A and B are shown apart, each in its own frame.
Chain A
Amino acid sequence: MRIGDAKQSYEADEAILTSSTQKIWFALFLFALLLFPFLADAYLLYLGCLVGIAVISTTGLNILTGFTGLISLGQAGFMGVGGFTVAWLSANTALPFPVTLLFAGLLAAAVGILVGLPSLRVKGLYLAIATLAASVFLHFIFAEWESVTGGMGGLSLEPAHLFGLTFQSDFGMYFIIVPLAVLMVLAARNVFRTRIGRAFIAIRDRDISAEILGINLLHYKLMSFALSSFYAGVAGGLFAYFFRVVTPESFPLSMSIFYLAAVIVGGMGNLLGGILGAAFMTLIPEALKLLTAALTPFYPNAPIFMSPMLEIIFGALIVGFLIFEPHGLAEIWHRIRRFFSLWPFKN
């Protein structure tokens, strides 16, 4: 396939960036991320932050669903755990944001382990329903445990702070969210170079075979749950800092479905896919609005007509990708890359 890609050592084979071209592109990408907030207007900056949060959460869900094969409808609930943790800590302590986010992740991970417990006995769809039950309970707790979560009205937060700096604007938040997103995606990439990550994949492919190969199913399934909810918890914590208010209604079931859709559209079991999916699904409503705005001069009723289109497009994307492009956007991306790397040899 690729030319001049022979590996001389295992290290080279395992490297995240295998060629100098890749390294250059990656560096350029990071540079673009760094430059973005200086060039973008408030609206694009806001969307950038939103995508960053979505990338973290989607990557987490991808670890669980895409790599370990455990479907979860509890992602929004785990994010809620993170969000309320951060909100509570920032109201009751003076901890800086790296610490609160860490707590958010850890608490969410603990809840994730609890929810994952049935995963040894039940799997597939039964497990999906177990996570659904978890999200119902979590919502109930968020709504009813008023002394901690503020009940239905939720909690408002002070801005994130560190060393006396406060991160009030989107501009500031961007420099928390995006580096964290890059870091967490790279960390996930690393996980899949270790025994743990490979065990996840083995479980996904056939859990019984994996068990026979000596993989402790309970251990690794719970670890996958913990890792995934850790990501969700951090994403939820960022969500809380970003919007500065969390209520039980901030984390509805539809949000869990949104992240599942992002994983599917992006490409299950592919980290790049998770990123693409998160960005794509977050930006679709905005893209549709541009289309609506373009149509409005010709059809004054376009806003009213186009709005239900969002639901339809959302559903059609899920169905369409699953039927026609099961490997998601990541596969399309690879096809484009392949085209360029094979050009002009192929025809």
Chain B
Amino acid sequence: MDWLFFGEISLAGLAMGGLYALIGLGFVIIYKATRVINFAIGEIMMFAAYLFLAFAGGMEMSPWVALPLAVLGGSLLGGVIEKVMIRPMLGESSISVVMVTIGIASILVGVVEMIWGADPQLLPSFLPRKPVFIGEMYLAPKIAYGFLIGAALLIIYLLYFRFSRGGVALRATASDQAAAYSMGINVRRVFNLAWVFGSLAASLAGVLVAATGGLSPQFGAIGLSVLVVVIVGGLDSIVGALIAGVFIGWLETVAGAYLGGEYRMPATFAVLAVILIFRPYGLFGTHDIERV
């Protein structure tokens, strides 16, 4: 076995996994606070990436101005979606809410096609193009720098949720909404902020992923890989999303490299199936106790 090759593949996979972890984090934040599984997360990522394309490509802004603007746009979109379409569904069955997010996904695809057309697009390249070597191992520069940017945001997030007031409010709301409310936490605001922050993480990841893989209205399909990540990690576990994200990214890449591209999805979904059978609430998720 060629260990150098395995190492390089693994490295590429882990870097991609870092981005999955970031998207997974966005997903988990939303789920933790509002108990909504957001099937539209891939489309929110796509929307942010198109915004980046408009700012950096169309309006010729510097990518380093366009990136924060696009991410901001994506997170605003998340906030608006929550306010307009998710809030009215409060208290409805989870199936209905999931379907609303599926509907939102479809709307976003249509809007993107209407504004930017159906052509496949490439983002203006803004990451350094010099190959990165770790020891002898080659790593594509886009992925390496994408990983670094993603990891930076991830660390900021983790610190924020651990130490800031907002983070505490979020965690309090997640564990008991009524108690949090009675302690003076503005729960409705927390709901909204969770969507904003969750979409922010997804948006950044969206731009980074689109920068490596290209962009088209079908981009949202990446949401499926993210679903695997969060289910394997546990829907309400931030740690779970991080570990599962990195693992699934790695597995997908290794399966693709050794077995062939058609095995990428089945490989990760096989892990998902095993997890669902033996640990239905994910590796780190909370097992809810139901009472009648």
**Interface, chain A (partner B; CB < 8 A):** 65, 69, 71, 118, 121-122, 124-126, 128-130, 132-133, 136-137, 140, 143-144, 206, 208-209, 212, 253, 257, 260-261, 264, 305, 307-319, 322-323, 326
Q: Give the residue name and chain of the A residue nearest to B118 (CB).
A: A308
The 9 closest A-B pairs by CB, nearest first: A311-B110, A315-B106, A318-B103, A312-B110, A315-B107, A308-B113, A319-B103, A315-B103, A122-B280
Partner of A312, one of B96, B111, B266, B291: B111
Q: Which of A129, A212, A253, A305 is packed against the most chain B CB atoms within 10 Å?
A: A129
CB <8 Å contact, A71 and B95: yes
Q: Is there a chain A Cβ closer than 8 Å to B170's Cβ?
A: no
Contact B269–A319 (Cβ < 8 Å) = no
Nearest-CB distance from A234 to chain B (Å)? 25
Looking at the assembled complex, report how far the CB atom of B65 sits from the nearest CB atom of chain A, in whole angstroms. Answer: 29
- Asked if B277 and A121 make an inter-chain contact with CB atoms under 8 angstroms apart, the answer reads yes
The answer, among B88, B89, B92, B266, for a CB contact under 8 Å with A137, is B266
Q: Which of B57-85 contact A (CB under 8 A)?
A: 85
CB-based contact A322/B272 at 8 Å = no
In the complex, how many angstroms separate the beta carbon of A221 from the nearest chain B beta carbon?
Answer: 14
How near does chain B come to A344, taking the closest CB pair, in angstroms?
Answer: 35
Closest to B105 in A: A315
Chain B residues numbered 229-245 whose CB sits less than 8 Å from any CB in chain A: 231, 235
Residues of B within 8 A of A (CB): 37, 85, 88-89, 92-96, 98-100, 102-111, 113-114, 118, 224, 227, 231, 235, 262, 265-266, 269-270, 272-273, 276-277, 280-281, 290-292
A-B contact pairs, 26 of them (CB 8 A): A118-B280, A121-B276, A125-B37, A125-B95, A130-B276, A137-B270, A208-B290, A208-B291, A212-B292, A261-B102, A308-B113, A308-B118, A309-B114, A311-B109, A312-B111, A313-B110, A315-B103, A317-B103, A318-B102, A319-B103, A319-B107, A322-B89, A322-B103, A323-B89, A323-B100, A326-B92
Instruction: For A260, list chain B residues within 8 Å (CB).
Output: 99, 102
Query: For A323, what are the chain B residues with a Cβ–Cβ distance below 8 Å?
Result: 85, 88-89, 100
Residues of A within 8 A of B98 (CB): 71, 125, 128
Chain B contacts for A264, CB-based, 8 A: 96, 99
Q: Could you say which of B37, B100, B266 contacts A140, with CB atoms under 8 Å apart?
A: B266
* B265–A136 touching, CB < 8 Å: yes
Q: Are the CB atoms of B276 and A126 closer together than 8 Å?
A: yes
Per a CB cutoff under 8 Å, which of A121, A130, A206, A318 touches B106?
Answer: A318
Let me know if B276 and A133 touch, CB within 8 A.
yes
New contact pairs (6) apart from A121-B277, A307-B113, A319-B100, CB-CB < 8 Å:
A136-B224, A261-B99, A309-B114, A311-B110, A312-B114, A314-B110
Once the chains are docked, how many angstroms separate the CA of A121 from the CA of B278?
A: 9
**Once bound together, how far apart are the Cα atoms of A47 and B106, in whole Å?**
24
A315–B106 Cα distance when bound, in Å, is 5
Q: How far in angstroms is the closest Cβ of chain B from A150?
A: 16
Across the interface, which residues of B come within 8 angstroms of A140, CB to CB?
Answer: 262, 265-266
B269 touches A137 (CB 8 A): yes
B103 smallest CB distance to A (angstroms)? 3
- Are B276 and A124 in contact, with the CB atoms below 8 A? no
Neighbouring A residues of B227 by C-beta, 8 Å:
129, 132
Known contacts A126-B276, A136-B265; is A314 also within 8 Å of B290 by CB? no
Known: A71-B95, A130-B273, A326-B92. A310 touches B110 (CB 8 A): yes
Given contacts A126-B276, A307-B113, A308-B110, contact A206 B95 (CB under 8 A): no
Chain B residues in 8 Å Cβ range of A310: 110
Q: Is the CB of A322 within 8 A of B114?
A: no
A132 to B225, CA, bound (A): 11
Alpha-carbon gap, A137 to B265, bound state (A): 9
Q: How far is the CA of A308 from the CA of B85 in the complex (A)?
A: 21
Contacts A128-B98, A208-B290, A319-B100 given; does A314 touch B276 at CB 8 Å: no
Contacts of B276 in A (CB 8 A): 118, 121-122, 126, 129-130, 133
Q: Establish whether residues A65 and B95, one from each chain, have CB atoms under 8 Å apart when the complex forms.
A: yes
Nearest-neighbor residue (CB-CB) of B260 within chain A = A144
Complex Cα distance A122/B277, Å? 8
Report the minimal beta-carbon distance from A168 to chain B, rounded to whole angstroms: 35
**What is the chain B residue whose CB lies nearest that of A263?**
B99
Q: Contacts A264-B99, A319-B107 hold; do A124 and B266 have CB atoms under 8 A apart?
A: no
CB distance from A197 to the nearest CB of B (A): 19
Instruction: With A69-B95, A118-B277 as known contacts, state yes or no: A311 contacts B113, CB within 8 Å.
Output: yes
The answer on a CB contact under 8 Å between B107 and A133 is: no
Q: In the complex, what's the smallest C-beta–C-beta distance from B78 to chain A, in angstroms?
A: 15
Contact A257 B110 (CB under 8 A): no
- A330 CB, nearest partner CB in chain B, Å: 16
Contacts A125-B98, A136-B265, A323-B85 given; indicate if A311 touches B106 (C-beta within 8 A): yes
A128 to B231, CA, bound (A): 11
The docked-state distance in angstroms from the alpha carbon of A326 to that of B265 is 34
B96 with A326: CB separation less than 8 A: yes
Contact A206 B111 (CB under 8 A): no
| Closest-CB distance, A64 to chain B (whole angstroms) | 11
A222 → B minimal CB distance (Å): 15
